[in-house]
Amino acid sequence: MSQYTPMIQQYLRVKADYEDAFLFFRLGDFYEMFFQDALRASQILEITLTSRDGGSADRIPMCGVPYHSAKGYIERLIAAGHKVAICEQREDPKQAKGVIKREVVQVITPGTMMEGAGIQEKENHYLATFEHKDSEYAIAAADVTTGECKTAVFATFDAAVHELAAYGVKEVITDGSWNESEKKQIHGRLSAVISVEEQVETEAFHGLLANLTHELTRQASARLYHYLHRTQKRSLDHLQAAEPYEIRDYMNIDYFSKRNLELTETIRSKGKKGSLLWLLDETKTAMGGRLLKQWIDRPLLSEKDINRRLGIVETFITAFFEREELREQLKEVYDLERLAGRVAFGNVNARDLVQLKKSLGQIPQLTNLLKQINGTELNALANKLDPCTELFEELDRALIEEPPISVKEGGMIRDGFHAQLDEYRDATRNGKQWIAELEKEERIKTGIKSLKIGYNRIFGYYIEVTKANLGLLEEGRYERKQTLANCERFVTPELKEKETLILEANEKMIELEYELFSQLREHVKQFIPRLQNLARMVSEIDVLQCFAAVSEARRFARPAFSVDGNMRIKEGRHPVIEKVIDAQGFVPNDCRMESGRQVLLITGPNMSGKSTYMRQTALIAILAQIGCYVPADEAVLPIFDQIFTRIGAADDLVSGQSTFMVEMLEAKHAIVSATSRSLILFDEIGRGTSTYDGMALAQAMIEYIHTNIGAKTLFSTHYHELTVLEESLDHMQNVHVTAVEQDGKVVFLHKVKDGAADKSYGIHVAQLAGLPDSVLKRADELLQSFENKEEKAVPPVLVQEGQLSFFEEKPSAKQKSFKKEDPALIAKLLSYDIMEMTPMEAMNTLYALQKEAKK
């Protein structure tokens, strides 16, 4: 340390506490960075790298950004996955003795951003803690922008990570004990920053932890709250008490299934457009949009709660005009959740508070409109809307309609709100008029027509009189201030008073306005819990009216729920594809899954619509259980506890897993976790490996699900040999997607009918794709050749006892000559430990057995 200047020593002491962050060190009008921070930041931010003398032999690398434009640079660093510690000057440089006192006032991290380009208005912005003890895993996830915090316990590491992936967490906080392998796994699967917080003491957050009884969730939530307070270093009054939830209270849709079904983003572009969320999002408020996404992520299991939502949706559908008026009013409601967060955080401005006032002004109208609609549940919701009348009136009395963005330049507070402020404003606005009137009065009093009042920065305001008129001045009232060649300048007690008022008025006016605004902001803090509760009510109303608007526009029907667990969908449709390709061009299909039809084996050509049929069935179930109408003419559904999908193929390059391994892992997860109340969608299982391996795995999975699980299953395949399973499996039914061949070309009818498909039309699909004619002709020749060879000699397949063969086996002449079994030979065969043999030993043993068998 001693080799550096006192200022650099101060920098290094602060930096030692924030090694994992870029330190923005305030020097005058700039935030400066030094040493390694400067080298890295200059590259990331593309700013000039310079150097300075820091007292050592070598010059110190340095770069900086102006403090007034630092926000954009900070956002770029956060977007790149870094943290930024803001170190401010904490005393007036004019009064400092030695090095100015500085300290870190906030640490901005990917999970604690409050505003900026990285914050999407209709998406939550979560950070989370991850705790592990014995065989339990707990997470606590919080959105600092809204103050909500949720926590849950999971039985496996994978289940907890899938939940964090569903939250889309930007940052994961740990106790620092994780090894590099665990950190790499979390970072690879979540693309989240890993942070460390050692404090887990719960007493400091007794109120926020009041709802929690499980010790691991208390520990996870306490660690989260400690981290937020340590990094943000300010009031976080908007943080809500941690809410525990049980994952079994909602339909469980794992990460793979959410991705495969494209619930909130598409697989190809990772964007919202083309997803179920995109189709449904007719919400008019940002908070309603966030709640809609949460509902899609967690469909309900309680039939009572589902029917409550459906009842409100039905009421909205029947009240078209009131609903349209409601939608217009909701447009005027700003983001109450995030406004409350900004108030607590201390970065709210006057425009934000005007938005809050306007939002509160809409609540009485919303209440009246809901009560006009004849619906019991809507009346109950209307009665829960709290207009916060006293806050609305205070904001209306205090703030002008269009205040400036800055809170330190004045011009925010209404005239008449504060007497002293009005005086300052009057002095500022009317200062010139006062001076002109005073000049006129002085000319009358003295009789000097050339007398004038002037101003300069050094002497301020003055009365200027020519030397020829000095004798006309009243003695004792004029105080000489400056003598010039042909005139003299004076001040009077009245002018001094006006000068003080005029010169100080503007500065004092700005100071007083900021003080009054700060008092108003503190007053608003008292209403934060009420505002957050109001936001929840308005969000729910917004989502339910959105369901009604979409359901009516897209011709959806209200679903019913079966007691016997059967499913009957009449003319079901894929809602997103229907919207994209135009409703007139979409072919609807029935889906019956009841006794004898628990497993549907779907065959048919590529591009015929097998995957669409499977996905639409899952989406109809999800829509029903979030409380929305469904894309069908009629729908009677069971309430599914889980949905599992294996649709599409994708390598997991991050973890080094092939397409086939990903397929098997997803299939394993479904088979291990599914119950008789689950829905399983398997598309082309086994296609990632050899034909016979694939068929064997597919058959084994179908049999296991059919016999051991009993879940409703849609299983599409190109292995036509599997269709014979219908004869041996009582609850399996073959269905196929129809296509016809016309003039050598395939025409897809997209209609699902009972029975198995007769062929795959693979070459016809290749023709549609535009492959060269020579390739298609050669493929057709090879196909005929393969089919002829297959008819002459079909490879034998080993079949377990009691299990159907994929192919009919034709014994050879030698095989037919064997009349009786050889017990000794069989006993010898069974005695070998094949797994312990070397390849050569196995070959020799097989040769000896063959010789003995030929005898």
- Which of 309, 321, 284 is CA-nearest to residue 380? 309
Alpha helices by DSSP H, listed for 80-209, are: 157-167, 180-190
**∠ CA(17), CA(21), CA(22), 5° rounding?**
110
Alpha helices by DSSP H, listed for 233-335, are: 255-261, 276-280, 286-297, 303-318, 320-330
Q: Write down how long the chain is.
A: 855
| Whole-angstrom Cα Rg for the chain | 38
Around 550, how many Cα atoms within 13 Å sit in the side-chain half-sphere?
27
- The 3-state DSSP class for residue 133 equals strand
- Which of 332, 353, 336, 342 is CA-nearest to residue 399? 353
Q: Which helix (H) or strand (E) holds 35?
A: helix 35-45
Q: How many CB atoms lie within 10 A of CB 10?
A: 18
Question: Is 610 annotated for ligand binding?
Answer: yes
List 790's β-bridge partners, or say none. Answer: none
**∠ CA(804), CA(809), CA(813), 5° rounding?**
150
CA–CA separation, 687 and 709 (whole Å): 23
Q: What is the DSSP track for 644-661?
A: EEE-S---BTTTTB-HHH
CA–CA separation, 276 and 261 (whole Å): 8
Question: Is 611 annotated for ligand binding?
Answer: yes
Long-range contacts of 261-266 (CB under 8 A, 24+ apart): 261/615, 261/618, 261/619, 261/622, 261/643, 261/645, 261/647, 262/576, 263/296, 263/297, 263/622, 264/293, 264/296, 264/297
CA–CA separation, 465 and 442 (whole Å): 11
Burial state string for 225-237 with b = 16 or more CB within 10 A and e = fewer than 16: bbbbbebbeeebb
Strand order across the 732-742 sheet: 252-253, 642-646, 679-683, 712-716, 599-603, 732-742, 745-754
CA–CA separation, 140 and 644 (whole Å): 25
List 107's β-bridge partners, or say none. Answer: 85
Q: How many CB atoms lie within 10 A of CB 93?
A: 8
Give me 256's structure tokens. Answer: 């793979």
Give me 285's structure tokens. Answer: 């408020």
List 79's β-bridge partners, or say none. Answer: none
- Which of 359, 405, 342 is CA-nearest to residue 115? 342
Give me 101's structure tokens. Answer: 């006192």
- Which of 763, 714, 719, 755 is CA-nearest to residue 737? 755
Around 43, how many Cα atoms within 13 Å sit in the side-chain half-sphere?
6
Distance between start and end Cα atoms, the chain: 92
- Which of 610, 613, 667, 676 is CA-nearest to residue 644? 667
Question: Is 606 annotated for ligand binding?
Answer: yes
Rounded-to-10 torsion of CA 40, 45, 51, 54? -60
Question: Is 607 annotated for ligand binding?
Answer: yes
Q: What is the DSSP track for 6-17?
A: HHHHHHHHHHHT
**∠ CA(143), CA(145), CA(150), 5° rounding?**
20
Rounded-to-10 torsion of CA 355, 357, 359, 361? -150
Binding residues for ATP are: 604-611
- Binding-site positions read 604-611
